[in-house]
Amino acid sequence: MLNATCYVWKFLSEDIWSLLLEESFNYDIVCWLPAETSIDRFVTIGAYSLLRSCTIEPECIIGQHSILMEGSLVETHSILEAGSVVPPGRRIPNGELWAGNPAKFVRTLSHEEILEIPKLAVAINDLSRTHFSEFLPYSTVYLEVEKMKSSLGISI
């Protein structure tokens, strides 16, 4: 069920939370996801976003530094621009671009833009898998430190 991409996942809440993730969900750097948040498939969330008890339907893009408050809903094929704030209970309708604080309607997305949303999610997911495979799951720096300590005669 989960096919998520992440560089750093950080929970900054002591709330009891549940998170429903679907396939090809991408988030970057630090995303704060406290309380109940539902994120569907082919969703891309930008760095430093805050999602509080909201729902994001399939094939959406959430720009970096965006804030989605309690009860907000981002419907399928929608884009929220970077730095946008979606107030509690607000609904971003299907196939629309929203931006601002508070988020306001900018325009309807073209058919070509809608078709690019899942492609972007898959491309980011594939790229992150490539980067992930380049690194060991655990750091081996400690081996170099131990080698250096023994060569210098340090016994700490």
List, for residues 83-118, the tens digit of each pLDDT value: 999 999 999 999 999 999 999 999 999 999 999 999
Residue the block writes with tokens 């729902």? 55
Tokens of 33: 């996801």
- With cut-offs at 50, 70 and 90, classify the pLDDT of residue 133: low
H or E element: which one contains 31?
A: none
- With cut-offs at 50, 70 and 90, classify the pLDDT of residue 73: very high
Rounded distance, CA 9 to CA 37, Å? 14
Contacting residues for 142 by C-beta, under 8 A, at least 6 apart: none
Residue 117 contacts residue 59 (beta carbons within 8 Å): yes
Is residue 60 pLDDT above 70, yes or no?
yes
9, 52, 55, 57 from 33: Cα distances, Å: 9, 6, 11, 16
Q: Is the pTM of this model over 0.75?
A: no
102 versus 36: the higher-pLDDT residue is 102
Stretch 47-74: mean pLDDT? 90
| 108 φ, ψ (degrees, to nearest 5) | -85, 140
Rounded distance, CA 16 to CA 38, Å? 14
Mean pLDDT of the chain: 78
Q: Cβ–Cβ contacts within 10 Å for residue 13, how many? A: 12
| Confidence (pLDDT) at 135 | 66
